[in-house]
Every structure is written in C-alpha cells, then in structure tokens.
Amino acid sequence: MSVTGTRLQPTIFERGRDGRGGGKIPHPPKDALDRIPASARRTTSPALPEMNEPDVVRHYVNLSQLNYAVDTGFYPLGSCTMKFNPKLNEWAARLPGFANLHPLAPDATAQGTLQMLFELETALAEISGMRAVTLQPAAGAQGELTGILMVRAYHRSRGDTARDQVLVPDSSHGTNPATASMAGYTTVTIPSAADGGVDLDAFRAALGPRTAAVMITNPSTLGLFEARIGELLDAVHAAGALAYMDGANLNAILGRFKPGEAGFDVMHFNVHKTFSTPHGGGGPGAGPVGVRETLLPFLPEPRVLREPDGTYRLERTGERPTSIGRMRSFAGNTGVLVRAYAYIRAHGGSGLREVSDDAVLAANYLKSRLAGTYDIPHDRACKHEFVASAATLKKQTGVRTLDIAKRLIDYGYHPPTIYFPLIVEEGMLIEPTETESVETLDAFADALIAIAAEAETTPDLVTGAPHTAPVRRLDEATAARHPNLRWRAMRGAETPCPD
C-alpha cells in the first residue's frame, strides 16, 4: 500500500475470515435448497468476505468518514454551486407517496406526483421567463442535448437545413461543444474579449446562414455577467439563429434576470446546483429545459398535462407528433425534482432573490480578501463566483495552482475548481455560495493567504502536499485513464498498488 497513509485500513476482503459469517436467515424452510432448481444452485461458496456485523458496520462507517462533503466542510468548487442542502428536502423526497410510487403507476393513482411536477414546471417557467419547461433530462448535459435537438427540429420544420454550426465562447463548459457535436453540429469556438466577456464583433463575424444556435453561459464561467447580452441576442436572431443559455450559473441571478424575457430561446437548469440536491459524487441530478413559444411544439414527450377538470395526466405516446421524442425513461429523476420543488416553495420569490444576492455578496467578499495575494484577472464586480490566479506566485516561487489545491486539503478544505475555465493561466474558480457564514469565508481566505506565504518561505511544503490525507498525490493521468477500482486476490510478489 505504497500510496496510503495510516487512515486507510485493509479492504474488507483482506479482513474477512472464512466461517465467521454474520447474517442469519430466520427460520429457513427445511426444503429451502430443494426449491431451487439444481441447475441454478452453485457448487462453491461465493468469494465474499465473512465478518461479524460490528466489524462490517465499523468498516463502512470509517470509510464514509474519509469522504469530504458539504455536510463536513466548506466546498468552494466553482461552477458546481455546492450549497448546503436543507435537510427538509430530504424529508420531502422520502415521503412514501413520492418515494414508493411505481414509475408505471396509472395517472389516476399518481395525481400528487403529477401535480408536483406540473407546479415545478410552472415555477421554473416563471423563474426563467420561459413559456414552458420539460423536467425530463437527467442532468445539465442532457438538458443541453435536449435543447439543441429542439433547435435542430425547429430549423428542420422550417425547411432551413443549411445551418450546421453552433457557436460557443472559449470560456464555455466542455459539455457545450460536446452537445453540439452529439446533435450533429460543428462547433465554432469564439474567443473571449479582453474583459472576459463575449466578444461581440467576433460573434457578429461568425454569425450567418450556417449558424443554428449560439450557446452562452450567463453569468459566464468567469463569474461575470454578460453586459452586452441584449446586443448579442439581437444579432443572433437577425441571423436567423436561436440562442441557448447554459443555466448552470442561475444561482447568481434568481429574481434579477429572466433569460426568456431577455430573448434567450431555450435554456437548461441544473436543479441539483441551483435548487439544492446533494451532488458531486456522480449521484442523480436533473436538467430541466425551458423554451420560448417557438420551441414549444418540439418539447420531449410525455409532457405533464392539466385537464380542464383539474386532474393531471401524462401525454400519450405520439399525441404530439412534432415532439423530439423521449429523452429519458419515465418523467425524470423525480426524487431530485421533489427537492427542487421543496426548495423553491420554502424560499418563495423574495427568498430566491435573497439567495442570489447573498451568493453574489459572498463571492465579492472573498474576491476582495484574496485580491492582495493572488492575481484577479478580471477585476470587476463578479456574480456568484470569481477566478483568482496563481500565475504571479508561480513565476516568483515555482508553486502552481495544483500545489495550492493540494495544500488546501491539509488545511481542511475542499479545493476550488482549478484550471477551468481554460482561458485563465493557473486559474482557481471559487464559488462560496450563499450558505456560508462570514467566519467560514474568512477562515478559507486566511488559509489561501497562508499557503501563498508558505510558497515564498517553504515551497517544498506546498509542492509536497497533501501531507495529512489518507491518499497522497496520484498520477492524475493514470488515475483517470486506468483507474484501479476492483479488488482481486493478490499472490506472491504482486502488490495491491502496482507502481
């Protein structure tokens, strides 16, 4: 175990002892074995570790303590909106009427869930200024694909088949160009202006009869509001193209800016970011998509419909032939949607606006605390996140952003997003969210300032970090490309972590 510290214990397979067992089946019928057809019976025992129950429980609880989570510490991961998730939402999502509903239940027995979905769609439409919303997509990335497939269907429906390009700024999230190419478009990358905003002239030059859509993140992934968004949207529409808004940063603009009213034709929400749901470990999310009138016919099926008598039902397959079809099984990730619904209802309109105002205040506070120590490449008021850079520090000391991120782990913090967006050298994208106290923000700023001082005096301390984590630095390329995730019995000279 060359890369592990003392906090990592042997795996449960290594700790198991034959015959120790644990679970007991109460009163098994005497002919239990005979009831299983001989062909389906195993001849050897499964290769599972055997342990007593307390040791199993301790093993897994101790492993869970190695996790860093928003429930254990500050999590300033930019672009991800790692806010604290109110526990009330967990209660709501676990209500038996939601949690135990069979996904194929007939509409008549699913009225409560259908009503919740309908009302959530209505609330998201109101928040975004869009005409209608689909809750189907399972994540922001799938929402993007849903939106761009609707754009494609729109152009095709008008016989406009020459449009084969999607324009994205160079600060965009990787899912934007990935979405464009999955939908069959060529991505055209537009460089940002010097102030970090969209370069209007460059967009104008690229717009034309081949442009199907532009994808804009607003506020951008630099945490900056696109001040010239109105001019840009006018130019997009004059060229006959549609405007897609990546709504991952909606946490900054709730109650302040409605993309639909500003002229965006389609956008996705990352409800697991903006409207709370524990995320970050790859768990389920939801990426609803809002559209303006023009894209209404193309929404995925089935939509949730409200009948004149006040009951709800799901659209029947083929009922709306213009639909792009299904994007996902059933009605969406309902548990995540219940949490979003609970969050929106608990805050109300003025509460949501406060969420954004506080998120913006926290980000600007943290930015001003770090301004004397790190580079702030775009030094104007930010929205809910900002980019700091260690470029100068690196020149002076050799310490890189990656080293600072690793050293933050020793200080007890989850590092911010690093090296994204790609256009900032040695960048750190920091998003504190609205749920952190000023004491937490100060302690985090103090840690980053202390690390900058260490870079001057004891750079090895920083470049060798983390020193306190159970796992030290991994070879990042190998860890990503050849992850060693499956345990198997090792023999002879084999070691569990081959170099």
- Tell me which stretch binds ligand PLP (CB under 6 A): 133-141, 146-154, 206-214, 234-242: 133-141
Q: Report how far residue 218's alpha carbon sits from residue 248's, in angstroms, rounded to the nearest whole number.
A: 8
- Tell me which stretch binds ligand PLP (CB under 6 A): 105-113, 127-135, 137-145, 181-189: 137-145
In whole angstroms, the minimum distance from the beta carbon of 174 to ligand PLP comes to 8
Of these, 114, 120, 133, 139, which contacts ligand PLP (CB under 6 A)?
A: 139
Q: Per-residue x/- mask for ligand PLP, residues 265 to 304, rule CB under 6 A?
A: -----x--------------x-x-----------------
Check: CB of residue 253 under 8 Å from CB of residue 264.
Answer: no
In whole angstroms, the minimum distance from the beta carbon of 245 to ligand PLP comes to 10
Cβ-based nearer residue to ligand PLP, 280 or 459: 280
Cβ-based nearer residue to ligand PLP, 176 or 463: 176
In whole angstroms, the minimum distance from the beta carbon of 78 to ligand PLP comes to 8
Of these, 136, 211, 221, 277, which contacts ligand PLP (CB under 6 A)?
A: 221
Q: Which two tokens stand for residue 239?
A: 């060229």
Cβ-based nearer residue to ligand PLP, 214 or 447: 214
| Segments in 411-493 forming alpha helices (H) | 438-457, 459-463, 476-481
> Number of helices and strands (H, E) in the chain?
17, 12
Of these, 89, 136, 211, 217, which contacts ligand PLP (CB under 6 A)?
A: 217
CA angle 333-339-340, nearest 5°?
90
Check: CB of residue 290 under 8 Å from CB of residue 246.
Answer: no
Q: In one letter, which amino acid is 396?
A: Q
Other residues' Cβ atoms within 10 Å of the Cβ of residue 36: 10
Contacting ligand PLP within 237-256 (CB under 6 A)? 246, 248
Q: Report how far residue 210's alpha carbon sits from residue 207's, in angstroms, rounded to the nearest whole number.
A: 8
Contacting ligand PLP within 160-189 (CB under 6 A)? 173, 175
376: three-class secondary structure by DSSP: coil
Cβ-based nearer residue to ligand PLP, 79 or 334: 79
Cβ-based nearer residue to ligand PLP, 142 or 397: 142
- Tell me which stretch binds ligand PLP (CB under 6 A): 136-144, 187-195, 338-346, 399-407: 136-144
DSSP structural state of residue 218: S
Q: Report how far residue 5's alpha carbon sits from residue 14's, in angstroms, rounded to the nearest whole number.
A: 17
Number of residues that bind ligand PLP (CB under 6 A): 13
Pairing between β-strand 211-217 and β-strand 165-169 as defined by DSSP bridges:
parallel
Strand order in the sheet with 186-190: 132-134, 289-291, 266-269, 242-247, 211-217, 165-169, 186-190
Q: Where do contacts with ligand PLP occur on this chain (CB under 6 A)?
A: 79, 139-141, 173, 175, 217, 221, 246, 248, 270, 285, 287
